[in-house]
Amino acid sequence: MARAFLVVMDSVGIGGAPDASSFYNGDLPDLGANTLAHIAQACAAGRAETGRTGPLHVPNMDRLGLGAAMRLASAVPFPGLDSAPQGRWGCAAEISRGKDTPSGHWELAGVPVPWDWHFFPDTQPAFPPELSNYVAEQAGTQGILGDRHAPGTAIIDALGGEHMRSGWPICYTSADSVFQIAAHEETFGLDRLLDLCRAIAPRLHAMKVGRVIARPFVGNPQDGFNRTPNRRDFAILPPSPVLNNWVQEAGGTVHAIGKIGDIFSMQGIDTLDKGPDAQLMQHLSDRVQNAEDGSLTFANFVEFDSLYGHRRDIAGYARALEWFDTQLGSILPRLRDGDILVLTADHGNDPSWPGTDHTREQVPVLVSGRGAGPLGQVAFADIAASIAAHLGVAAQGPGRSFL
């Protein structure tokens, strides 16, 4: 029987979104943003030499058709990536009115987001008083700290000591539709933080805020603070069944790797493996070796986005791409006859672009296991429909199979 592997390279966009001019980083529209092309340009020009050197080297993805997909999506020039494609290749555009992780993944799984997300203004305070009061009430405190847009590590450094003294949770947001709470694992308590996020999530979801995120940390003001791996996302549920549910309803097993469990609130998921990207790659390798016939393995590799895109670290992003490509080269030959591996992304995050937000871009669609040739420009939801068709599962969304 067939198996399917859907692998999302978080934020690895290839430009050319038809509606990019209506999405912004600050006052600058995303028109012209191109994550991969601009990284390739920087590498070729010697502007991405930290921890690596020379032109961007991703031969395994290029052989699948990455360069061809980039040229299909956008006219932004880039050097190299000119291998003759040996896989199926194309690009995909999103219709959901968001350039965030939930919107992208839901639509990749077959269900475009039917509403506009709520975003908090970049003001101080950022949250309406009644919401801040509600969070404090649920926390059992007299107030909250933060109440603004901020990078997570920066706000913990700034307010960690005050948080430890007062016991008030640090609440902040970003350009995404999120409400984040940072709290000390020892002085506030990890279970207490998770219970708080769980308690307030329904109210935030009713506002169409996509995620409530628990951001635990440890440390002290003298030695510094560090976030722990115990992050937990409480995400709003998709409005209808997604690819994961379709596979389960047909009797298949769904294995989630990385953020997939949080993105779908564990709906339609049988197993979950988490960790840093290096560990996730081992989990993906294990699933290629051991996953059952008829199963779906759905993986997200987030560090392109979280460590390098938002931080506008071009060299770091290039290193991550080259590492990922090397690992992919050891996985592809171990796919079985009847397997399909689809490599794609959920949005862009151009590290050369002003600001720190995601960028509205098309994404690559690279397929191993179904011959070679162009797919053309497809929809995000077509990816779910195609995987469903490969597995012999009834698709319930608007997408059409390109296989």
Binding residues for Mn(2+): 10, 305, 310, 346-347, 358
- Beta-carbon-side half-sphere exposure of residue 217 (alpha carbons within 13 Å): 27
Cβ atoms 81, 57 nearer than 8 A = no
CA distances from 23 to 202, 287, 360 (A): 28, 37, 6
- What one-character DSSP code corresponds to residue 118? P
Q: How buried is 311 (Cβ within 10 angstroms: 0-12 exposed, 13-18 middle, 19+ buried)?
A: middle
**Separation between Cα atoms, residue 279 and residue 319, nearest integer Å:** 17
Residues 6+ apart with CB under 8 A from 368: 64, 87, 332, 335, 340, 341, 343
Closest CA to 366 of 324, 395, 394, 398: 324
CA distance 393 to 48: 44
Cα separation, 46 vs 29, in Å, equals 27
d(CA 123, CA 125): 6
Contacts for 286 with CB less than 8 Å, ≥ 6 apart: none
Binding site membership: which residues?
10, 305, 310, 346-347, 358
d(CA 345, CA 36): 11
Provide the sign of the torsion angle of the four alpha carbons 286, 292, 293, 296, taken in this order.
Answer: negative
